[in-house]
Chain A
Amino acid sequence: SQQGEEDPQALSIQEGENATMNCSYKTSINNLQWYRQNSGRGLVHLILIRSNEREKHSGRLRVTLDTSKKSSSLLITASRAADTASYFCATPCPGFKTIFGAGTRLFVKA
């Protein structure tokens, strides 16, 4: 079963613009992770934010976490065509399982 819902489902922007994706989840979590998937490829781990953190940065990525609203956002600044991919939030479940959100398909136009 899927834990999270993400919006938007699809996002198309111009190169250089910022892209924001949101994720909501249902149960209590210890951490939340974001992954990227290029078309037809495996997953790349982007960033992990723990439940006691509100914001985290990694390069052009900024992730926020609001545990009271059970939501997280991923911001990609100064987007590039190479950022075109699907982005998923993921939360851990008992037994080391990882449950994925529905994903946001990002298309960055050059």
Chain B
Amino acid sequence: GAVVSQHPSWVICKSGTSVKIECRSLDFQATTMFWYRQFPKQSLMLMATSNEGSKATYEQGVEKDKFLINHASLTLSTLTVTSAHPEDSSFYICSAPGLAGSRDEQFFGPGTRLTVL
């Protein structure tokens, strides 16, 4: 099946710094990617939809100036957590729809664990 990678796998940063997380589709093109956040022992919460060549669309309650999303190419979306604070510590997961934009399956990255000190 299709593969989605994320980088880095984990990151520790100081409060106030910005952190960039990359999501890549390795063997297929993805005009749309999704970013999720997962707190410990909780479910995945959709944060935003990343659209290649246009602005991301954010779910209600997600600050677009806090979580900057750039979908620079058909295989890469980046999420930048700006001025990170301890409450931003979480597990961030990206996904991309299956081949040919199939609604039936999403391919998920392995996730990035962010810890803000």
Contact = CB atoms under 8 A, between A and B. Distances in A.
A45 B3 CA distance: 12
Given A2-B43, A43-B93, A99-B46, 20 more contacts: A40-B91, A40-B113, A41-B111, A42-B108, A42-B110, A43-B108, A45-B1, A45-B105, A45-B107, A45-B108, A88-B43, A88-B44, A92-B104, A96-B106, A97-B46, A98-B95, A100-B45, A102-B42, A103-B42, A105-B41
Nearest to B30: A96
A85 interface: no
Of A96, A99, A105, the most chain B CB neighbours within 10 A belong to A96
Interface residues of B, number: 28
A1 B60 CA distance: 8
Contacts of A18: none
A1 B113 contact: no
Contact of A101 (B43, B104, B110): B43
Interface of A: 1-2, 30-31, 33, 35, 40-43, 45, 48, 88, 90, 92, 95-103, 105
Nearest to A102: B43
Contacts of A95: 32, 49
- A contact patch SS: strand
A6 to B, nearest CB: 9
12 contacts: A1-B46, A1-B60, A31-B103, A45-B105, A45-B106, A92-B103, A96-B34, A96-B106, A100-B43, A100-B45, A102-B43, A103-B42
A70 B68 CA distance: 36
Contacts of A1: 46, 59-60
